[in-house]
Amino acid sequence: MKRDPKHRGRADKWVQITHEEAFDLIEKEYKRITAKYGRKSCVVFSGTGREGGGMNPYATNVLRTPNMCYTQSGYACYLPRLASAAYIVGVVYPELDYAGGLPGRYDDPAYEVPECLILWGKAPLESNPDGFFGHAVIDLMRRGTRIISVDPRVNWLSTRADHHLRLRPGTDTALGMALLNIIIKEGIYDKQFVESWTYGFDKLAERVKDMPPEKAAGICGVKMEDIYAVARMYATAKPAAIQWGLAVDQKANGMQTAQCIISLMSITGNIDVPGGQILADINGNVNEVGYNMDQGIGDDFNLMIGLQEYPACCQVTFQSHADLTLKTLETGKPYPLKFGFYAGNNLLSCTSMEPQRWAKAINESLEFCMTIECFMTPTAEATCDLIFPLATICERDGTVFTHYGGSPVTIGFTNKAVEKQGESLSDLEFVYLLGKRLHPDLWTDCKSVNDFIDKLRLGGRYKFKDVHKLVSVQHEVKYRKFETGDLRRDHEPGFNTPTGRIELYSTIFEQLGDDPLPYYVEPKYSPVSTPELLDKYPFVLTTGARVIGFFHSEHRQIPYLRELNPNPLVEIHPKNAAKLGIADGQWCEVYNQFGSAKYKAKVTCAVDEKTIHAQHGWWFPEDDGNAPNLYGTFRSNINNLIPNFHFGKLGFGAPVKCMLCNIKPITESYDTDMALVWKKFGKGE
Ligand SMILES: Nc1nc2c(c(=O)[nH]1)N[C@H]1C(S)=C(S)[C@@H](COP(=O)(O)OP(=O)(O)OC[C@H]3O[C@@H](n4cnc5c(=O)[nH]c(N)nc54)[C@H](O)[C@@H]3O)O[C@H]1N2
Ligand SMILES: Nc1nc2c(c(=O)[nH]1)N[C@H]1C(S)=C(S)[C@@H](COP(=O)(O)OP(=O)(O)OC[C@H]3O[C@@H](n4cnc5c(=O)[nH]c(N)nc54)[C@H](O)[C@@H]3O)O[C@H]1N2
Ligand SMILES: [Mo]
């Protein structure tokens, strides 16, 4: 469907056109805009990983722009963890070894069940994140693994944990430093591993003296004895593992939390051992994208927004910096952005902080904007001029990669369940056809979209037609690869870092202008850094802990799933609720100096008395789509309260899980009319 740009935000102005007409329109706009402003004026907005996520680089390839942008402030998802590991260990995200890829699984002779598992800011039963399947934690618990939870909130796993450190959101680095402090002071680390395979241990030992456990206890709001108990339990368990989640990324100080967590794994000798943290085989592994990043872009790569300012972030993500992209949209500097393409991103409802600011900036800057989507979303409604219907993963054969190809485990093949509906295209078909249209010289060796998938998606290693019957392809799992040379391109023993060792003192952080050792900084807005705001905003706000029924902003229009969670919920402790006159199920306003959002109260001890938790990703597909309502997406949008531009020195992180706020009851009710949801989106059941 297309719509005149002057009618952006008008749900009744879409006109259905053919694919041919749509590609004509794109070609015309692309040629017009790039002739005037250059190809760099194109921007691809991306969201979280999914099959089409592998498409984003191809999309930049097709538009030949250096600007692909995952629009969450500070790229605060997964990449801070991947990047810190890449810089410090030389391999991306060290995952818990859950016996994936071993023929005998948990009973394989090569495997050992971890004695202890720390779940740090991750809730794998709800989130099954990044290729990890949460049930593995239960499987391991059945085989004896003891759990430690580091999480301000209570969840199913934390209630089964030996220790639950309910720290104040955003203070993780203080805790990490204190754990290192104890383990080093008590000598309960793996001296041989430290001696042979790490760099900078003495400097780390000196640094963590700054964070004695009594100090961390005060900062984090947990008992000092519990910090000691956790340090001793983790360090003396053999093997032991840490699963570290999104809470690490969603703070400006997150790279330092990551640094502490990697240091904990390393000094206890749990890196690349059975039941510890598994590392990818750097030479034998498939990577998801299997493709040459600067194909067709050449030196324009250097024009990427944010590359000069935050190379640590942009070089490793191959993406322009979100916050600086927002600034560029607002100012037209260093050059204007004019042509937009959303590839799996609903930034108004979910991905981006200060969403109204993003919407305004996009609409004022972009002359043309398009998307390929499964649903009409608030973002497409507000800002797009062209929308292609997407064939979902149920309607096509596809590929998925666990851990983004960063671990030695599997590639999965998904086989379609139903025939394609209507005139939809898959992401890969779309980008293939668009590439052929805009640059007939591109992918000349691909005669069909299947050739394109084999070449670019599967990196030439597999043929889709041969392997989709397998459902999953497993790689051989090897341990202690630092001894055999499989962790370095030159096949020498050691790690793929400048010193060849795990850098507890990070020479790369130092080169990039950050402190080589971990340090604690308070969140920008917190009871400690802004005590003057406490009268007005007495609660710490954390957001977005995953729920089973929704994937971010998706599935609100699937009545079966919406029934599980019909309204946006904010969690508040019973004592606070009583004090503020908030009843369970009452509508409230959550607010701070940046904005407000309306939520239904869930009065629960899952949060403590200092903390409030609000769900993310809300919009109401049953509501009026016309601007300014836009399916009610700004009404219950917790990102109204979270500012951009509060990332760390290297360009990573955002205060998504550590802001301040207040909450008050309101008299209006916004209860979802489930009968209406069923009527609009159900099939009459
Ligand atoms: N307050 C708060 N905000 C958050 C978070 C939080 O914890 N708290 N989490 C953040 C995180 S970690 C992330 S990753 C972002 C996620 O942000 P997004 O990735 O933007 O979120 P989604 O709603 O999953 O997806 C965006 C759109 O992609 C469409 N889509 C789904 N599958 C496909 C596909 O295969 N191809 C295409 N082309 N489109 C598809 C969906 O219909 C949806 O409209 O949100 C962030 N926002
Ligand atoms: N069902 C479902 N699954 C999903 C998603 C979804 O939207 N829905 N999104 C996917 C995406 S893109 C991502 S990135 C992953 C994320 O998945 P996870 O990494 O599991 O992250 P979250 O569920 O956001 O939060 C995990 C835990 O962190 C806690 N927490 C909050 N603030 C802090 C803090 O400051 N410190 C600590 N230590 N803990 C804190 C929360 O209480 C929560 O229990 O999930 C993926 N899977
Ligand atoms: Mo994410």
Q: Is residue 301 part of a domain?
A: yes
Instruction: For residue 347, give the ligand 1 atom closest to its CA.
Output: 20
Instruction: For residue 49, give the ligand 2 atom closest to its CA.
Output: 12
Q: How far is the CA of 48 from the centre of ligand 3 (A)?
A: 5
pTM of the predicted model as reported, rounded to 2 decimal places: 0.96
Number of separate domains in the chain: 3
DSSP 496-546: SSTTSSEESS-HHHHHTTS-SS------SSSTTT-GGGTTT--EEEEE---
DSSP 420-478: PPTT-B-HHHHHHHHHHHH-TTTTTT--SHHHHIIIIISTTT--HHHHGGGSEEEPPP-
Instruction: Say which range, 54-63, 257-266, 530-539, 633-642, has the weakest mean pLDDT.
Output: 54-63
Q: Is residue 407 part of a domain?
A: no
Q: Is residue 405 part of a domain?
A: no
CA distance 204 to 209: 9
Q: Is residue 415 part of a domain?
A: no
How would residue 416 be classed by pLDDT, with cut points 50, 70 and 90?
A: confident
Please say if the pLDDT value at position 294 is more than 70. Answer: no
Q: Is residue 30 part of a domain?
A: yes
- 138 and 22 in a common domain: no
- 53 and 33 in a common domain: yes
- 108 and 51 in a common domain: no
- Alpha carbon 559 to its chain centroid, in Å, reads 26
pLDDT at 400: 73
CA distance 662 to 330: 30
CB 162 within 8 A of CB 146: yes
Q: How far is the CA of 420 from the centre of ligand 2 (A)?
A: 33
Please say if the pLDDT value at position 201 is more than 50. Answer: yes
pLDDT at 538: 98
Facing residues of 146 across strands?
Answer: 116
Q: Is residue 270 part of a domain?
A: yes
Average pLDDT (183-211) is: 98
CATH of the domain at 673: 2.40.40.20
Please say if the pLDDT value at position 458 is more than 80. Answer: no
Nearest alpha carbon, ligand 1 atom 25: 345
- 271 and 130 in a common domain: yes
- 294 and 265 in a common domain: no
Average pLDDT (323-351) is: 97
For ligand 2, say whether the CB of 254 is within 6 Å of any of its atoms: no
- 589 and 546 in a common domain: yes
Q: How far is the CA of 262 from the centre of ligand 2 (A)?
A: 19
Q: Is residue 231 part of a domain?
A: yes
Nearest alpha carbon, ligand 1 atom 30: 344
Percent of the chain topping pLDDT 90: 79
How would residue 61 be classed by pLDDT, with cut points 50, 70 and 90?
A: confident
Average pLDDT (150-165) is: 98
What's the residue count for the chain?
685
In the predicted model, what is the mean pLDDT of the chain? 93
Please say if the pLDDT value at position 137 is more than 70. Answer: yes
Q: Dump pLDDT digits (tens) for 462-471.
A: 777 777 777 7
Among residues 441, 467, 493, the one where a domain terminates is 467
**At residue 56, what is the residue type?**
N
- 585 and 462 in a common domain: no
Report CA Rg, the chain.
25
pLDDT at 684: 59
298 CB neighbour count, 10 Å cutoff? 10
For ligand 2, say whether the CB of 169 is within 6 Å of any of its atoms: yes
Q: Is residue 261 part of a domain?
A: yes
CA distance 496 to 479: 16
Instruction: For residue 616, give the ligand 2 atom closest to its CA.
Output: 7
Please say if the pLDDT value at position 251 is more than 50. Answer: yes
pLDDT at 293: 47
Instruction: For residue 48, give the ligand 2 atom closest to its CA.
Output: 12
pLDDT at 376: 96
pLDDT at 464: 77
Supply the range of the domain harboring residue 618. Answer: 531-681
How would residue 437 be classed by pLDDT, with cut points 50, 70 and 90?
A: very high
- 670 and 535 in a common domain: yes
Q: How far is the CA of 70 from the centre of ligand 1 (A)?
A: 10
CATH of the domain at 113: 3.40.228.10
How would residue 602 be classed by pLDDT, with cut points 50, 70 and 90?
A: very high
pLDDT at 291: 43
- 612 and 496 in a common domain: no
Please say if the pLDDT value at position 404 is more than 80. Answer: no
CATH of the domain at 59: 3.40.50.740
Among residues 444, 467, 490, the one where a domain terminates is 467
CA distance 49 to 47: 7
- 223 and 299 in a common domain: no
- 315 and 244 in a common domain: no
- 110 and 44 in a common domain: no
pLDDT at 470: 74
Q: How far is the CA of 72 from the centre of ligand 1 (A)?
A: 10
Percent of the chain topping pLDDT 70: 94
Q: Is 86 helix (H, G, I), strand (E, B) or coil?
A: helix
Q: Residue 39 has what DSSP assignment?
A: G
CB 421 within 8 A of CB 395: yes
pLDDT at 185: 98
Mutate to test the pocket of ligand 2, among 137, 151, 350 (most ligand atoms within 8 A of CB): 151
Please say if the pLDDT value at position 147 is more than 90. Answer: yes
pLDDT at 555: 95
* Dihedral over Cα of 85, 552, 616, 547: its sign: negative
How would residue 290 be classed by pLDDT, with cut points 50, 70 and 90?
A: very low
